[in-house]
């Protein structure tokens, strides 16, 4: 039976999650990760590892660091997770509506470009 490790180095986490150490350090600034220090060395806890995993998942979904931090900070083991899930759903719905609007805007722009291309090609044939 494998026991959970008590600590991780920045290079171990970078390798595991296929990110750069610089990216991991970047997530410390807004308070997403809080490693302890041993001189210059950063030592990450299992909690930091989980928070990094959730941060990267949130980034893949297109969430801002602030949204990710708010969602992660709501979670406490043993507590009712319903408020966190409801907040997560609201954030996802908001983000989805923004993406849908962006897609509609892009489609409209592509249609305009096609119309102008058609006009220009017609003028070039004269």
- What is the chain's pLDDT, residue by residue, as a tens digit (126 residues)? 444 678 999 999 999 999 999 999 999 999 999 999 999 899 999 999 999 999 999 999 989 999 999 888 887 667 788 888 898 899 899 999 999 999 999 999 999 999 999 999 999 998
Residue 1 pLDDT = 43
- Give dist(CA 58, CA 111) in Å, integer: 32
Residue 76 pLDDT = 67
Residue 75 pLDDT = 75
Residue 124 pLDDT = 94
Structural domain spans, the chain: 1-63, 75-126
Residue 43 pLDDT = 95
pTM here is 0.74
Residue 73 pLDDT = 83
The residues, any chain, with a CB within 8 Å of residue 20's CB and separated by 6 or more, are 14
Residue 3 pLDDT = 47
Residues 4/46, Cβ–Cβ less than 8 Å? yes
Which fold does the domain 1-63 belong to in CATH?
Multidrug-efflux Transporter Regulator; Chain: A; Domain 2 (1.10.1660)
């Amino acid at each position: 039976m494998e026991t959970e490790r008590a600590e991780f180095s920045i290079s171990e986490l970078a390798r595991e999650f296929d990110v750069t150490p610089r990216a991991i350090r970047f997530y410390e600034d807004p308070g997403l990760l809080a490693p302890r220090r041993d001189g210059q060395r950063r030592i990450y806890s299992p909690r930091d590892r989980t928070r990094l995993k959730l941060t990267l998942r949130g980034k893949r979904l297109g969430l801002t660091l602030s949204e990710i931090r708010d969602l992660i900070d709501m979670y406490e083991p043993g507590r009712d997770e319903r408020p966190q899930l409801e907040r997560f759903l609201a954030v996802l719905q908001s983000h989805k509506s923004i993406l849908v609007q962006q897609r509609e805007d892009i489609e409209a722009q592509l249609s305009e470009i096609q119309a102008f291309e058609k006009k220009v090609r017609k003028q070039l044939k004269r």
